[in-house]
Amino acid sequence: MSKEIFVFVECKDGSIRKVSYELLSKAKEISQKSSSIVYAVIIGSNQDVLANQLKDFADKVLIVDNEKLSKYRWDTFLSVMEQIIKKYKPYVMFGPSTTTGKDIFPRLAARLNGAIISDAVDVVFDENTLKIKKPLFGGKIISWMKCKDDSTFFVTFRPNSFIVENRSLNGELIKENIDVSEDSRIVSISTEKRETKKVDLQEADFIICGGRGMKGPEHFQDLEEIADIMGGRVGASRAVVDSKWRDYDDQVGKSGKTVSPKLYVGCGVSGALHHTMGMDTSKVIVAINKDPNALIFQYADYGIIDDVFNVLPALKEELKKIKKEI
Amino acid sequence: MNILVCVKQVADTEARILLTSDKKSIEIENKYNMNFFDEFAVEEAIRTKGKVKDCQISVCTYGSNKATEVLRTAIAMGADKAYLLDNNGYDIEDPIITAKILASFAKTEGFDLIFCGRQAIDDENANIGAMMAEFLNIPHVSAILKFDVVDEKKARVESEIEGGKEIQEVQLPALFTTQKGINEPRVPLITGVMKAMKAQINIIDPATLKDLSKGMIDESASKISVLTYETPSARPTVKIIDGETPEQKVKALIDILKDEAKAL
Ligand SMILES: Cc1cc2nc3c(=O)[nH]c(=O)nc-3n(C[C@H](O)[C@H](O)[C@H](O)COP(=O)(O)OP(=O)(O)OC[C@H]3O[C@@H](n4cnc5c(N)ncnc54)[C@H](O)[C@@H]3O)c2cc1C
């Protein structure tokens, strides 16, 4: 059986998403144990520069370049992936559990009658099997799963599940000539992109999250400034989003986004279960809350019991200093 | 117009969830709800019914007898007919099988419009909608934020895409998964609840559906299996940072984050 690991590379606004490098890094680690090789699959239009950036992260880079692929659509991308998989018959394909990954991977698995495990957080190669770790019930239970037969196996992983390892594989670039078919039943009328240079919430290494304790939308400016200093993002609790202080895009939690940054700082967030389920996989959690009994202190590594408005100015100054040191 | 809404009964977020001692199965406290994102799907179907003529809403779930509760909730909200695709108490791990069963049911009945929730909040898979659409060979749009029927054969939707939104026109029949923000799901009125209590739930054995057989949907057909379950390791107790003033606390925090946690 072939043991090749394929990674679907997701691009956004003309660059490769960090999650793609994370998946390539993990794939390479697994491939070294299973003596196989890693293929990066990049689909789009005018991808030469990007494909070159992937060279050091994969043994082979498959490039599908077609102007019909300049914008993601499941129908066109699916037709390409289907042909690639039929041609190379990989053992497994990794993808990101992002808006795009969640849109295309299930349909792809169904079309190819494959096996799929979605929204995983880890993978190990052990006893000649890929064992996939996937949290259930908002992290109350962890499951380890595997694919039972030799169907093509698809696994999507949450962003920030793996560390990016810089390698110098100098992989081979291979251009694939593939016909792209479009589903004429769907017509795009218009797209609207949020004008932002900020990192994606799920990919951010640093998140400062505001809760109802922030008192009003105007105070999120302080959080924005801190996020900018740290190159991170502002998150929000549902109470904040429901009050229209912030967009739904910022919502952390069960009915928002699941995040695992290196550092999460909760400001005036009570730590309700629906919220913590979306952030308790963060590497380090800091909570700032004036109520010593706030639930969030049960999840936090470090806590400051104080009025958030007294803490934020000092926090901003100290973080500024640190960034200057580096 | 015939609308189908697929719903799932999920454990309440507050429900206690335990592992059996052999770590091979899960025990869930008896607290269940309709999946959060499915409420938007039911609501959107009801709103659509209010805008087109001769419209009927069917709601279905693949689950155990207990799952009839969510079907009744959907009826209480305003759905017309309910179908339980009975799993005989056996939870299948493989989402492809669930999607095949739902798709086969949809094929048997014939629908113009199918709504599903964006994802289930218990397994966070976000698989079923797109898979069903593939098995039915109809288009799908994930995570929709606005929905309008243009005419009998066309819908116009706004959906969430990476870093923004997109407006598309889609030929029907088609499948849409609903995202939070599309509507405010109604709380059933008491008259709705009364009606739902009396409503007939159609129970179907999936093996009798079109193109399906027992061997295609039982455990032997599942392509994935669970090796083991674990409980997550508990987080260490919080360290409260002391200090006379907020400034001192912040300084101490920064030192710890730098030296101990290596998070800066
Ligand atoms: C089905 C469902 C899904 C949900 N999904 C989500 C979700 O995805 N994400 C989510 O976040 N929630 C979700 N919730 C809501 C969740 O249960 C909580 O209601 C919500 O997280 C509370 O938000 P909060 O912490 O901002 O507000 P509150 O609970 O009101 O807490 C505010 C906190 O701020 C503190 N505070 C106030 N003033 C100050 C001050 N000056 N300085 C310091 N601290 C201060 C208070 O002590 C308090 O702890 C969901 C609920 C349901 C039912």
Between the CA of residue A269 and those of A40, A95, A205, B149, what are the distances in Å? 40, 32, 19, 40
Residue A26 contacts by C-beta under 8 Å, 6 or more apart in sequence? A94, A123, A157, A161, A162
Residue A292 is predicted with a pLDDT of 97
Strand partners, B155: B149, B170
Please report the atom of ligand 1 found closest to the CA of residue A288. Answer: 43
Left, alpha or beta for B240 (phi > 0: left; psi -120 to 50: alpha)? beta
CB B166 within 8 A of CB A188: yes
Closest to B161 in 3D by CA, of A69, A243, A261, A13: A13
What is the least distance, in Å, from the CA of A176 to any CA of chain B?
25
CB B151 within 8 A of CB B108: no
Strand partners, A284: A263
Residue A195 is predicted with a pLDDT of 77
Per 3-state DSSP, chain A is made up of helix, strand and coil in percentages (nearest 5) of 35, 30, 35
**Distance from the alpha carbon of residue A211 to the mean position of ligand 1, in angstroms:** 6
What residues line ligand 1, using a CB cutoff of 6 Å? A 211-213, 237-240, 251-256, 268-270, 272, 274-275, 278, 289-291, 294, 307-309; B 36
Residue bearing the CA closest to ligand 1, atom 9: A253
Q: Where are the domains of chain A?
A: 5-175, 201-325
Residue B201 is predicted with a pLDDT of 98
Q: Is residue A47's pLDDT more than 70?
A: yes
Which pLDDT band, with edges at 50, 70 and 90, does A153 fall under?
very high
**Entry field: residues in chain A:** 326
Residue A3 is predicted with a pLDDT of 83
* Phi, psi at A65, each rounded to 5°: -120, 120
Please judge whether B168 and A186 are an interchain contact, meaning their C-beta atoms are less than 8 angstroms apart: yes
Pair of tokens at residue A177: 């000539």
Q: Would you give the end-to-end CA distance of chain A in angstroms?
A: 48
Which pLDDT band, with edges at 50, 70 and 90, does A7 fall under?
very high
**Distance from the alpha carbon of residue A296 to the mean position of ligand 1, in angstroms:** 10
Please judge whether B251 and A185 are an interchain contact, meaning their C-beta atoms are less than 8 angstroms apart: no
Q: What is the pTM of this model?
A: 0.95
Residue A2 is predicted with a pLDDT of 65
DSSP code per residue over A14-55:
TEE-HHHHHHHHHHHHHHHHTT--EEEEEEESS-HHHHHHHG
Between the CA of residue B261 and those of A231, A271, B237, what are the distances in Å? 19, 21, 14
CB B101 within 8 A of CB B94: no
Pair of tokens at residue B19: 């592992």
Residue A224 contacts by C-beta under 8 Å, 6 or more apart in sequence? A234
Element (H, E) at A159: none
- pLDDT tens for the 264 residues of chain B, in order: 999 999 999 999 999 999 999 998 999 999 999 999 999 999 999 999 999 999 999 999 999 999 999 999 999 999 999 999 999 888 888 999 999 999 999 999 999 999 999 999 999 999 999 999 999 999 999 999 999 999 999 999 999 999 899 999 999 999 999 999 999 999 999 999 999 999 999 999 999 998 999 999 998 999 999 999 999 988 889 999 999 999 999 999 999 999 999 998
Closest to B33 in 3D by CA, of B54, B2, B8: B8
Residue A189 is predicted with a pLDDT of 97
Closest to B133 in 3D by CA, of A104, A151, A216, A142: A104
Please judge whether B241 and A304 are an interchain contact, meaning their C-beta atoms are less than 8 angstroms apart: yes
- Tokens 């929905």 correspond to B147
User: Taken in order B33, B34, B39, B43, is the CA torsion positive or negative?
Assistant: negative
Domains in chain B with CATH codes:
2-221 (3.40.50.620), 233-264 (no CATH)
**Distance from the alpha carbon of residue A247 to the mean position of ligand 1, in angstroms:** 15
Please judge whether A273 and B13 are an interchain contact, meaning their C-beta atoms are less than 8 angstroms apart: yes
d(CA A115, CA B225): 10
Which residues of chain B have a CB within 8 Å of the CB of A189?
156, 167-169
Q: Is residue A1's pLDDT more than 60?
A: no
d(CA B202, CA B82): 6
Strand partners, A273: none
d(CA B232, CA A137): 11
CB A78 within 8 A of CB A111: yes
What is the least distance, in Å, from the CA of A120 to any CA of chain B?
9
What is the least distance, in Å, from the CA of A181 to any CA of chain B?
14
Instruction: Give, for ligand 1, the residue of A240, A244, A251, A274 to mutate: max count of ligand atoms closer than 8 Å to Cβ.
Output: A274
- CATH code of A5-175, in short, is 3.40.50.620
Closest to B39 in 3D by CA, of B180, B246, B168: B180
Residue B26 contacts by C-beta under 8 Å, 6 or more apart in sequence? A136, A141, B17, B18, B19, B20, B229
d(CA B227, CA A212): 41
CB B11 within 8 A of CB B32: yes
Nearest to B126 among A102, A140, A284 (CB): A102
Instruction: Provide the CATH topology of domain A201-325.
Output: Rossmann fold (3.40.50)
d(CA B114, CA B139): 11
Reported as half-sphere exposure (CB side, CA atoms, 13 A), residue A76 has a value of 19
Which residues of chain A have a CB within 8 Å of the CB of B211?
none
Please judge whether A102 and B232 are an interchain contact, meaning their C-beta atoms are less than 8 angstroms apart: no
pLDDT in tens, A221-239: 999 999 999 999 999 999 9
Pair of tokens at residue A44: 């789009």
Residue of chain A minimizing CA distance to B234? A299
Cis omega before residue B173 (within 30°)? yes
Which pLDDT band, with edges at 50, 70 and 90, does A196 fall under?
confident
Between the CA of residue A274 and those of A137, A178, B49, what are the distances in Å? 11, 45, 32
Which residues of chain B have a CB within 8 Å of the CB of A292?
240
Q: Is residue A210's pLDDT more than 60?
A: yes
Residue of chain B minimizing CA distance to A194? B164
What is the rounded average pLDDT for all residues in chain A?
A: 96
Q: Is residue A93's pLDDT more than 70?
A: yes
DSSP code per residue over A168-230:
---PEEEEE-------TTEEEEEEEE----SPPGGG-SEEEEE-GGG-SGGGHHHHHHHHHHH
Please judge whether B225 and A146 are an interchain contact, meaning their C-beta atoms are less than 8 angstroms apart: yes
ipTM: 0.95
